[in-house]
Amino acid sequence: MSEKISLYDTAGIDSLRRELALDPHQLHRLRTAFWKKSAGAEAAIAELPAMAQATVADRVEFHPLTLDVRLDSQEDGATKLVFVTKNNQRIESVLLRAGTGRTALCISSQVGCAANCDFCATGKMGFHANLTTGEILDQVVQANEQIRGEDRSVRNIVLMGMGEPFHNEATVYEVIDTLISGRGFNHPASRILISTVGIPEAMLRCGRRYPSVNIAISLHSVRQEVREQIIPLARKYPLGELRRTIVELNSIQPSTVMVEYLMLASVNDSLEDAAELAEFLDGLRVHVNLIPYNAIEGAPHLTGSSREVRDAFANSLKSAGLTTTIRYSMGADIEAACGQLVQKLERQRKQVSSSRTS
């Protein structure tokens, strides 16, 4: 039997449509049911004429990923979904149900990550592969299928899972094109955020191509030597270049640039650090998001700042006129919080067993 055609293979699906003499509108109804309504493959196929249903079911691949493990937090509204690719590699996505009723989904763009940030479990596992367009989008599809029974759907999509999105740039753009297209997911561009360690040329390409897509930069320090210690890639992109990039993004995008700042005790959390950060960001249209550190294996030398220190840091930034929030980390009990996503099957199996017996 020949390999199935991925639903995300536009040319292949169009060829099959002509072979089956299907009207383009009939195929559009299938995609609408599957992508926009999260109705599942069976219901989507039922949108086609009866004579084509068996062939499409047999020859089209709807899910490039297999859902292997689902972990639900016992403490908050987080759910971690562990998927397996065709190459038997595992990636993770995280559903976040906010108290406001809104649902966000943090998706992965790579298996592992080459950035090797000191605070990130994904970086510790190294880089293994770029995900395909279908593999990235299928995280959205399957997440929506998981929460459909809750009368929820994914409102905000964040590329902040495993991987550096701009190291898989062309594919990420194909993903965004499909997400925002009326013939695709019809998802608002303004509800998509791309988080990067800071690759200036890619940030600008993205900003020019998608002015309404939000960009977040992992800054974490405005002292070059400190930033290089925790983000090795910072050696290639000095702070002055990053600031000029934010200035240009401000000129081409209506939204603010999200500045992510991980709070690490005795590393970057002093009031002097806050003052230097405020000076660096002065005159820029940014939103500073202070992030509590979530402990990971392989970084025993890092400790998160206390709540009191985070509050003092935030107040200092606010006094300087910067819009500042402290992120509330969700999913820490299932290792789904920021920086904790990593390919560790045995631990995930134990987490499932533990959650079932608790």
- Confidence grade of residue 108 (pLDDT, cut at 50, 70, 90): very high
Kindly state the average pLDDT of the residues 250-260: 97
- Confidence grade of residue 255 (pLDDT, cut at 50, 70, 90): very high
Share of the chain above pLDDT 90, in %: 81
Cross-strand bridge partners of residue 71 = 80
- Mean pLDDT is lowest, of 110-119, 135-144, 158-167, 257-266, for 110-119
- Confidence grade of residue 354 (pLDDT, cut at 50, 70, 90): very low
- Confidence grade of residue 356 (pLDDT, cut at 50, 70, 90): very low
**Residue 338 annotated to the active site:** yes
- What does pLDDT average to over the chain? 91
62-71 pLDDT per residue, tens: 999 999 999 9
Q: What is the pLDDT of residue 122?
A: 80
160-209 pLDDT per residue, tens: 999 999 999 999 999 999 999 999 999 999 999 999 999 999 999 999 99
Q: What is the pLDDT of residue 123?
A: 80
Q: What is the pLDDT of residue 124?
A: 81
In the predicted model, is pLDDT for residue 334 greater than 90? no
Active-site pick, 47, 201, 338, 346:
338
43-96 pLDDT per residue, tens: 999 999 999 999 999 999 999 999 999 999 888 789 999 999 999 999 999 999
- Confidence grade of residue 247 (pLDDT, cut at 50, 70, 90): very high
Kindly state the average pLDDT of the residues 321-335: 73
Q: What is the pLDDT of residue 69?
A: 93
Burial class (CB in 10 A: 0-12, 13-18, 19+), 317: buried
In the predicted model, is pLDDT for residue 339 greater than 70? no
280-305 pLDDT per residue, tens: 999 999 999 999 998 877 777 889 99
Q: What is the pLDDT of residue 344?
A: 53
Q: What is the pLDDT of residue 85?
A: 96
In the predicted model, is pLDDT for residue 352 greater than 50? no
- Confidence grade of residue 100 (pLDDT, cut at 50, 70, 90): confident
Active-site pick, 42, 47, 92, 248:
92
**Cα 83 to Cα 69: distance, rounded to the nearest angstrom:** 7
Q: What is the pLDDT of residue 98?
A: 83
- Confidence grade of residue 135 (pLDDT, cut at 50, 70, 90): very high
In the predicted model, is pLDDT for residue 348 greater than 60? no
**Cα 8 to Cα 6: distance, rounded to the nearest angstrom:** 5
**Cα 137 to Cα 109: distance, rounded to the nearest angstrom:** 10
**Residue 92 annotated to the active site:** yes
Kindly state the average pLDDT of the residues 120-135: 90
